[in-house]
A and B are shown apart, each in its own frame.
Chain A
Amino acid sequence: MALDGGVRQAFERVLDPADVISNPVKCRAYECDGLTGYRVVPELVLLPRDAAQVAAAVRVCAEHRVPFVARGAGTGLSGGALPVADGVVISLARLKRVLEVDPVNRRAVVEPGVTNLEITAAAAPHGLYYAPDPSSQQVCTIGGNVAENSGGAHCLKYGFTTNHVLSFEVVLPDGSVVTLGTDTGEQAGPDLRGVFLGSEGTLGITTKIVVRLLRTPESVRTLLADFPSVAAAGDVVSDIVAAGIVPAAVEMMDTLAIEAAEEAVHAGYTVGVPAALVVELDGPVEECDVQFEQVKEICDRHGCTRLHIAGSPEERAAIWRGRKAAFAAVGRISPDYFVQDGVVPRTRLAEVLGRIADMGADAGIRVANVFHAGDGNLHPLVLYSAAAGETERAEKLSGQIAELCVELGGSLSGEHGIGTDKACSMPKMFSRDDLAVMARVRSAFDPQGICNPGKVLPTPRLCGERPGKYKPHPLEEAGVIERL
């Protein structure tokens, strides 16, 4: 069932008709986000220019029961912005104004299409910055960060998006506009801001977001250390934390990831070493200096083979460029790959890495590891070649890794979200009752079930078959068989 022309006209009445894209070729550019394995061509793509137009478009959706999916920069890795067949995509790419930077109260008011890094750029003249820093921060939007409760390398010390977003204006699935949270961060009554944050676009669309800004640290010290084994690097992480140090970030990369990143950005990583750690400390100069010495000493104790200390902001930026480009750079060493995202307790890091290595060896599939070691958030990259027919084996291995994380007392997802990708794994982590409660919360916001349907919570249809437009079987078309 396609949308009827009346619905399209209704959208064209509330938006500029040029901002309603219906050409099927153009719509195909929106058929997937950063997870290209799932594709659904939307019926229409809407490009509203302000919050009022977003609300008006959602009202049309509600009135005609048209499913809608919000999309920011389309960088998500769990298929959270996968369109719905016969539905519309509402792109927030044009809502990209920084409305206010308030240095005294240390907050900024921005539209959802502003990128994470643009917030920091706007705050920088005041000596302030926005702390959560997903690796895709130069392109991912704050609206998407709110939807996914995005993390980033520095979340070890500073927390996730939820710790840095005070309030937001939301268009609910019926088209009404509400504000959740307060600008001071204090709230009486149930924490609806907390419910919405991380709901992966299933409860509504943010149109204005108030974020907390932090003072740019007085001092930042960054080192890159090579280790003879992944286990040794893992022990360093444990020892740093045990010493009472809270680093701004502790990132680990293994041989394959280092090779890819170095090839992409020539950041000074040592190609060929089994593991490298990026450790960053920030804060007052004196504290930073003392703790930096402690970290160096811990590295040495665990057989560090090379210690590179960033001597300038440029060198520091180069180290981070290498780390942050690592996902995409893996495209250089493998034709295809899955990006996995799971969490284990920090104490089980070495164990989980050992088991991943064994599982990879058994499957004959290479696994590169790039991860936020400080908080146990793993990003195994499962490398394969579709052309060589490895897809199925790799997909199975990737799923097993996520479930291994749950088995070890961790989580299915650290920061990429459940989306389309892991909805069917949710029962591995949550009981039937848990899921039923989640579904009831969702329907309280969205009784018609039109807001990013099919994501996060498992549904029989989703988990039984790939989503997509209904296509009649050739025999069905020929009248030989019929569906009952």
Chain B
Amino acid sequence: MTTPAGSADTNLPQTGPSAYDDRRPPERELLDDCVHCGFCLPTCPTYQLWGEEMDSPRGRIYLMDLAQKGEIGLEGPFTEHIDQCLGCMACVTACPSGVQYDRLLESVRPQIERNVERTPSDRLFRNAIFALFPYKRRLRAAALPGAFYQRLRRVPAVAKLAEKLPGRLAAMESLLPPVSVREAFARLPTYTPAVGERRARVALLSGCVQDVFFHRVNEATVRVLAAEGCDVLVPAEQQCCGALELHSGREESALVRARREIAVFEKLDVDHVVTNVAGCGSSMKEYGHLLSDDPEWAERAAAFSARVRDVHEVLADLGPRAPRHPFRGRVAYHDACHLGHAQKVRAQPRAVLRSIPDLQLVDLPEAELCCGSAGIYNMVMPDAAAELGARKAANVRSVAPDVIVTANPGCLLQIGKHLGTTDGAADGGPIPLLHPMQLLDASIRGVPVPRS
């Protein structure tokens, strides 16, 4: 006698009505793709931390399946373990059966947001995050030196929270370093012509967090794209792409943002919509899928998503043209999860970095493991995020890089926080943490590599 090693569906009957509402519940076929082999366990950050089956992709899919079969409800353990998922999608990379955990997570998180009542403090804190992050103006105000706490405390919800959640607020604060007034309020030019013969015409998503805290990265990106022969358009009316909300299950508001971005960008006559943020790129590439059942938007969303490219994809496709100045040093490239796992863009950033003469590219141990940033994760789950951050920092130190680069602002903030300022580069200062575009920009312009 033998028994199936087949799908999670095997032999388990439907015992009651599904625990999901009928708005995009996880698809049966996607749940059935999981054969329970466990190949995802070693790459799952929470399984690495806690060693609990429910906090592995296999265990979470099992719970999703049980909920679909009506055997368990969404409240309690289901919500707890789905909330604890970072959404890093390392399991999607690891899965030999092609399970689309990204799609599954994307469908169950909104189910939780709609159907599970969160504790008052948790709800307030999440609301506070989403009242702040997607808005450039509020972020600017919050980011000014010394202003952050005062500003935040004025939000009544936050004031109430401050005593209840010192860990979460402290995590939030430490992740938002003050920036200069000049940088916070700087604007990108709406049109930058290609240098020399034009090879492509692109529109850049300037982002919300990115544009406030890492405006210098956007400036570098525009200069690099122009130097490599791209006309760069930066539409002024663009706003947040909705990635943070989407990845947290706030589907409705994310889709409102998605439609607005599509409307802004579809008018432009460009070859690509370019982003330099891993999280934004992965959500914009999903618009087509997310709006596929919206008759008015389905086609427009699909057309938009088809044009979205990460900046490294564009540059790798074009091939280097602008002369580079050498950079003599060890550069560690950290794969942002939403670039490597979610978009499968791994080779292109490395190819782009290797176009810099003399640059020595080094890989990080446990490269597939999330740094703990994961959108809003390091604010809502500060303890787990801190453990992962410390682990990533130790892995970074182990290869002794002169510079570390990664293409996501969340990762930059998280790794920076955990590397601290005492762990030095060869010259004794902190290891510069940069976006690859900053390094490439410095190489093309022949200027010293920035420190941050």
In the complex, the answer to whether B62 meets A29 with C-beta atoms within 8 Å is yes
Of A327, A329, A337, the contact of B4 (CB 8 Å cutoff): A337
Query: In the complex the two chains form, is A422's CB within 8 Å of B10's CB?
Result: no
Residue of B nearest to A72 (CB): B38
**Known interface pairs A96-B51, A335-B7, A425-B1. Does A36 touch B36 (Cβ–Cβ under 8 Å)?**
yes
Flag if B6 contacts A335 (CB, 8 Å): yes
| B77 A421 Cβ-Cβ under 8 A | no
1/0 per position for B25-56, CB-CB distance to A under 8 A? 00000001111111101100001000111100
B2 touches A395 (CB 8 A): yes
Given A73-B38, A421-B1, A47 and B51 contact (CB-CB distance below 8 Å): yes
A377 within 8 Å of B (CB atoms): no
The contact of B35 among A117, A138, A265, A331, by CB within 8 Å, is A331
- B96 near A325 (CB under 8 angstroms)? yes
Chain A residue with Cβ nearest B54: A29
Query: Which residues of chain B are near A34, meaning CB under 8 Å?
Result: 5, 36-38
* Interface flag for A443 (CB, 8 Å): no
Least CB distance, B171 to chain A, in whole angstroms: 22
Query: What are 10 A-B pairs at a CB distance below 8 A?
Result: A25-B63, A34-B36, A136-B39, A138-B42, A139-B37, A139-B41, A325-B96, A331-B96, A421-B1, A422-B2
Q: Is A398 positioned at the interface, with any CB of B under 8 Å from its CB?
A: yes
Stretch at the interface among A59-67, A74-82, A300-308: A74-82
Q: Which residues of chain B come closer than 8 Å to A74, judged between CB atoms?
A: 38, 53, 58
- Assess whether B422 is interfacial by the CB under 8 Å rule: no
Decide if B97 is an interface residue (CB 8 Å cutoff). yes
Contacts of A382 in B (CB 8 A): 2
CA distance A338 to B63 in the complex (A): 23
Interface residue B387 (Cβ < 8 Å from any Cβ of A): no
Q: How far is the CA of A74 from the CA of B37 in the complex (A)?
A: 8
Task: A79 to B1: give the CA distance in the assembly, Å.
Answer: 12
A36 touches B5 (CB 8 A): yes
Smallest beta-carbon distance A115→chain B, Å? 6
In the complex, chain A residues 315-369 whose Cβ is within 8 Å of any chain B Cβ: 325, 327-329, 331-332, 334-340
Asked if B1 contacts A399 (CB within 8 A), the reply is yes
Chain B min CB distance to A92 (Å): 9
Residue A244 interfacial (CB < 8 Å): no
12 new A-B contacts at CB < 8 Å, known A29-B62, A402-B2: A25-B66, A28-B66, A29-B54, A34-B37, A36-B7, A73-B38, A74-B58, A336-B6, A338-B3, A338-B6, A386-B9, A422-B2
Q: A25-B78, A37-B10, A338-B4 are in contact. Are A265 and B53 (CB under 8 A)?
A: no
At the interface, is chain B mostly helix, strand, loop or mixed? loop
Residues in B whose Cβ lies below 8 Å from that of A113: 51
* Contacting residues, chain B, for A30 (C-beta < 8 A): 53
Chain A residues contacting B72 (CB-CB under 8 Å) are: 25, 28
Q: Does A91 contact B (CB under 8 A)?
A: yes
A386-B9, A386-B10 as given contacts; A328 in contact with B35, CB under 8 Å: yes
In the docked arrangement, what's the CA distance between A386 and B8, Å?
11
**B76 an interface residue at 8 Å Cβ cutoff?**
yes
- Known: A25-B76, A338-B5, A339-B5. Contact between A36 and B33, CB under 8 A? no
Contact with B along A394-413 (1 / 0, CB 8 A): 01001100100000000000
- The answer, yes or no, to whether A94 is at the interface (CB within 8 Å) is yes
Instruction: Give every chain A residue within 8 A of B11 (Cβ-Cβ).
Output: 36-37, 39, 386
The CA-CA distance from A337 to B37 in the complex, in Å, is: 13
For B96-107 the 0/1 string (1 means CB < 8 A from A) is 111000000000
B6 & A264 in contact (Cβ 8 Å cutoff)? no
Q: Is B177 an interface residue (CB 8 A)?
A: no
Question: For residue B41, which residue of chain A has the nearest CB?
Answer: A139
A contact residues around B39 at 8 Å (CB): 136, 138-139, 325, 328
B37 touches A75 (CB 8 A): yes
The 6 tightest CB contacts between A and B, nearest first, are A37-B3, A336-B6, A93-B51, A325-B96, A331-B97, A328-B96
Q: Kindly name the residue among B3, B12, B71 whose own CB sees the greatest number of chain A CB atoms within 10 A.
A: B3
Complex contacts, A115 vs chain B, CB 8 Å: 42
**Chain B, 51-109, CB within 8 A of any chain A CB:** 51-54, 58-59, 62-63, 66, 71-72, 76-78, 95-98
Chain B residues with CB below 8 A from A79, complex form: 3
**Cβ contacts under 8 Å, B34 to chain A:** 331
Q: Within 8 Å CB of A425, what residues of B?
A: 1
A383 to chain B, nearest CB (A): 9
Chain A contacts for B38, CB-based, 8 A: 34, 73-75, 136, 139-140
Q: Which A-chain residue is minimally distant from B56 (CB atoms)? A: A29
Question: How many Å lie between the Cα of A78 and that of B52 in the bound state?
Answer: 21
Complex CA distance for A399 and B2, rounded to whole angstroms: 6
User: In this assembly, does A456 line the interface, its C-beta being within 8 Å of a C-beta of chain B?
Assistant: no
- Chain A neighbourhood of B6, CB < 8 A: 36-37, 331, 334-338, 384, 386
CA distance A35 to B59 in the complex (A): 14
The answer to whether A328 touches B37, judged by C-beta atoms less than 8 angstroms apart, is yes
Distance A37 CA – B66 CA, assembled complex (angstroms): 15
Q: What is the chain A residue whose CB lies nearest that of B28?
A: A387
> In the bound complex, how far is the Cα of B37 from the Cα of A338, in angstroms?
13
Please give, as numbers and ranges, the residues of chain B lying within 8 Å of A220 by CB-CB distance: none
Chain A positions within 8 Å of B37 at CB level: 34, 75, 136, 139, 327-328
Using CB atoms, name the residue of chain B closest to A113.
B51
Contact with B along A42-75 (1 / 0, CB 8 A): 0001010000000000000000000000000111
Give A229 to B313 CA distance when docked, in angstroms.
43
B36 contact from A32, A93, A337, A424, Cβ within 8 A: A32
Q: Contact between A424 and B96 (Cβ–Cβ < 8 Å)?
A: no
In the assembled complex, the Cα of A25 lies from the Cα of B59 at a distance in Å of: 11
- A268 shortest CB reach to chain B, Å: 16
The docked-state distance in angstroms from the alpha carbon of A470 to that of B344 is 48
Instruction: Select one of B3, B9, B41, B97 contacting A421, CB under 8 A.
Output: B3
Query: Whole-angstrom distance between the alpha carbons of A94 and B50 in the complex?
Result: 7
Roughly how many angstroms separate A420 CA and B3 CA in the complex, as a whole number?
A: 9
Residues of A within 8 A of B8 (CB): 36
A90 to chain B, nearest CB (A): 12
Note all chain B residues with C-beta closer than 8 A to A327: 5, 37, 96
Q: A367-401: which residues lie under 8 A (CB-CB) from chain B?
A: 382, 384, 386, 391, 395, 398-399
Q: With a CB–CB cut-off of 8 A, which chain B residues contact A391?
A: 4
A28 to B71, CA, bound (A): 10
Cα separation A332 to B77 with both chains bound (whole Å)? 30
